[in-house]
Chains A and B, each alone.
Chain A
Amino acid sequence: MSKGVGVDLEDVCIRFGDFVAVREANVSIKGGEFFSFLGPSGCGKTTILRAVSGFLEPSEGRVMIGGKDMAGFGPNKRPTALIFQNLALFPLMKVWENITFSLEVQGVGKAARRKRADELLEMIALTGQGDKLPSELSGGQKQRVAIARALCAEPDVLLLDEPLSALDLKLRQHMRTELREIQKRVGITFIYITHDQGEALTMSDNVAVMRAGIVDQISDGHSIYNDPATPFVASFVGENNVFRGKVKSINGDHAVIDTNRSGDLVARIATSAKGSLNIGDPAMMFLRPEACKIATDTSAAQNRLTAKVLHEEFEGQIYNVFLEGAQGKEIKMSLVNVGQERQSKHSNELTLEYNPDQAVILPAGELASE
């Protein structure tokens, strides 16, 4: 198993007629990396995956795997294996035949295939289940069979197209850890497609966030969450309270924006916007619900807001408190459940406070639609 083969997309454009599915994507994926494409449905992430696996040829640009241009190589000639969204296990073949299909088409004998299947079944903790049909397995087991089938082909790059989306929450969380462990064990490059930011952030070394065919940001999960490059990333990944306004003053890393309804607010300027943001520009400030706190000091400040409690949701580890700020501005605040007194009393006036380093200011732009 050759490890650590990188994948590079160079100026990849993919068009279907007049529709541009992917626009000038430049992505460099290092060998042995767990890389995720994150985006809402229809953003072109599956298209990219199909271009890498060879089911599509890019209209422009090149797909390089291990430094080799893949143009003209069909899916059966590329060192990639794809795990489909619906898994696409062969329903008429037994589990072990499914797993060793890649060996069967190479003409490997039955005994050798069976042996390899048993090894892989052991790896995915399904020892002794080889003679079942896929329809007799549970969702999680099918998932693991699909992974084993892909790994049996000994690919350099494993591509996963939202493979966990059909599983229930518990299983999904379990499979996340399992996938990450398998990736570390086999050491090959994983390219993972998902619209679930939780999956992307927990598993990946790096994440590319896509919007309508455009790659907005490529970074590790931490930066994606804390230092978004565009308003789209900020609003798509995690939750954010958005305050629109105009830049009033800039002071080093921080800026103050003048919001009509909530007054002047201060926040850190996002790394991508440093230097390009000028006074008077339309801007947006993003404030995470968990960055809000209840202030004990109720005097006015540029990092304080007043709001009325509308209602409260209890999620277990956190409370989500929905508030109404000045002139009907909706604000969401998340409080860690440490057994404190709840805020659910309607119309309870509160003063919120936040650390300006935990809020970001970006030039105004398109938001992710809810």
Chain B
Amino acid sequence: MKSENFLLKFFLVAYLVVFFGYLLGPLLVMSVTAFNSPSFPKLTPWECLTFEWFDVLAQDERIITGLKNSLIVGFGTVILSVVMGLAGALMLTQIWPKMRATYYTIVIAPILIPGVVLGISTLVFWDRVSVMLGFGSGSFFQNGIFLTILGQSTFIASYCMLVFVARLQRFDTGLTEAALDLGASNAQAFRKILLPFMKPAIASAAVLAFLASFENYNTTTFTFGKFPTLTIELAQKVRYGIDPSISALAFIIICLTVIGALAHEVYRRRQQLALNNGAPLSAVTGSFQLPKFLRGNPAAIVLVLISLGGFTTIWFSQVYSPKECILDVREQKRILQDLRIQDIKRKRLEQQKATQGTQSTAPANSSTLPQSPNKGAFGGVFAPDNLNKETGKKAVPQSPGKGAFGGVFAPGNLDKTGPQDKKSD
């Protein structure tokens, strides 16, 4: 019984490790590569701690403009989607019950339609509109920002609507009636009763819309025109090869997400703590207060630690310079290479000695064979004697006919410091 329990626990832990590894592993690896010095994002070998990729990122014009465009598009999409989503959700509660299912299907359809289709249709539709209204090319209707916002909003508004519908289901329409009964106009009842009730849903819908817009690629790829967003820029960049500045960007985004999530959790836990301690609800919903909430609030502690860590890192990056380390690594690499080459040389030497020892009667190739100019495309590099630099050097004349590669593949050429080495040998 006990061992069974232990097994179960073991598998549970193993499962959790695998699960979280699968979820978070790529993010972790990506984040770490942002601080490694090689110019291709690599985790191993770890060379030097560097912050240079953040510099590279900050100086990358295309990424920065892409980010700017993404923010503009995101902002526009949030406004348009939240408004349309709220309108759609309210409509759902007002429409005749018989129509409700049909209406719901229609407004939810954009979520099910592939983003590519939405992108193309947005492009085509507004182009037609532009032509019908008699505008030339480059009109407002063909502006990339305008099209991207509209294209993304077509389906993001549906997501927002789902959020609003969920909240509206808990709304007591009696409250609106009560407001009307007390003399409020319809607009006042909406503004003073329904809107405050919807506020949390509006906030979450806005976050959702922004994130969906920020990461959207397949709709945007048809509509961006002259205003590529960050995702478009990244995709284009990857085509020409990436460097760790993308990791740096990913790291920044991950950090912002984690800090945002923690801050939200802190706020939530603080409220709960206060409620558990018997504070009145009206006192809890007030503004943010710092000192007391740390007590018994793990999320707050983690947030504070992370912020401290962040500040320390920024300070450290100002002070720390990886140049020395990078030079060091370069030097080490060079030495390593040298060692390897010498190793190879030594082996060959030994090999040759061994062959010469056993075939002493055989004529020495190098001295007897005439170095004819037509010995082939590879300039005789494959001749066994050529492998031995010392003998090769003496025997092989630098004839013009030794081949297309001009002898670059001759093993002796690999070693730049060859002549000195030979002397020392």
Contact = CB atoms under 8 A, between A and B. Distances in A.
Q: Is B truly associated with A?
A: yes
Given A84-B177, A84-B178, A105 B196 contact: no
Interface stretch (A73-81, A180-188, A357-365): A73-81
A76 B282 contact: no
A81 B280 contact: no
B282 A131 contact: yes
Nearest to B191: A105
Interface in B177-219: 177-185, 188, 192-193, 196-197
A76 B185 contact: yes
A92 B200 CA distance: 12
B180 to A, nearest CB: 5
Contact of A105 (B182, B281, B282): B182
Contact of A94 (B174, B183, B192, B282): B282
Contact of B174 (A81, A84, A92, A135): A84
A63 to B, nearest CB: 15
A105 B188 contact: yes
B179 A101 contact: yes
B172 interface: yes
A84 B178 CA distance: 8
A149 B177 contact: no
A101 B282 contact: no
Contacts of A82: 177-178, 181
A271 interface: no
Contacts of B192: 101, 104-105
Contact of A86 (B174, B180, B196, B282): B174
A109 to B, nearest CB: 16
A92 B179 CA distance: 13
Interface in A155-207: none
A88 B188 contact: no
B175 A90 contact: yes
Contacts of B197: 91-92
B163 to A, nearest CB: 18
Q: Which range contains the number of B residues in contact with the other chain? A: 20 to 34
Given A88-B172, A105-B185, A135 B281 contact: yes
Nearest to A81: B181
Contacts of A153: 182-183
Given A84-B178, A132-B282, A105 B172 contact: no
A91 B185 CA distance: 19
Contacts, number: 70
A53 interface: yes
A91 B178 CA distance: 12
A90 B179 CA distance: 9
A76 B218 CA distance: 50
Nearest to A132: B282
A132 B280 contact: yes
Nearest to A149: B182
Contacts of B179: 90, 101, 105
Given A75-B177, A84-B174, A86-B172, A133 B281 contact: yes
Contacts of A105: 179, 182-185, 188, 192
Interface residues of A, number: 29
A88 B183 contact: no
A57 to B, nearest CB: 14
Interface string B260-303: 00000000000000000000111000000000000000000000
Interface string A109-147: 000000000000000000000011101100000000000
A196 to B, nearest CB: 21
A315 to B, nearest CB: 36
B180 A74 contact: yes
A54 B193 CA distance: 20
B201 to A, nearest CB: 13
A143 to B, nearest CB: 14
Contacts of A76: 180-185
B83 to A, nearest CB: 21
A55 interface: yes
Contacts of A75: 177, 180-181
A106 interface: yes
Contacts of B175: 88, 90-91
A101 B184 CA distance: 9
B189 to A, nearest CB: 8
A219 interface: no
A78 B183 CA distance: 8
A26 interface: no
A303 interface: no
Given A104-B192, A135-B281, A88 B182 contact: no
A102 interface: yes
Contact of B182 (A54, A81, A86, A136): A81
Interface string A59-103: 000000000000000111000111010101011101000000110
A342 B87 CA distance: 69
A350 to B, nearest CB: 52
B281 A136 contact: yes
Interface of B: 172, 174-175, 177-185, 188, 192-193, 196-197, 280-282
7 contacts: A54-B181, A76-B184, A84-B178, A88-B177, A101-B192, A105-B183, A105-B185
Interface of A: 53-55, 74-76, 80-82, 84, 86, 88, 90-92, 94, 101-102, 104-106, 131-133, 135-136, 149-150, 153
Given A91-B197, A136-B280, 14 more contacts: A54-B181, A75-B180, A76-B180, A76-B184, A76-B185, A82-B177, A84-B174, A84-B177, A90-B178, A101-B184, A101-B192, A105-B179, A133-B280, A150-B182
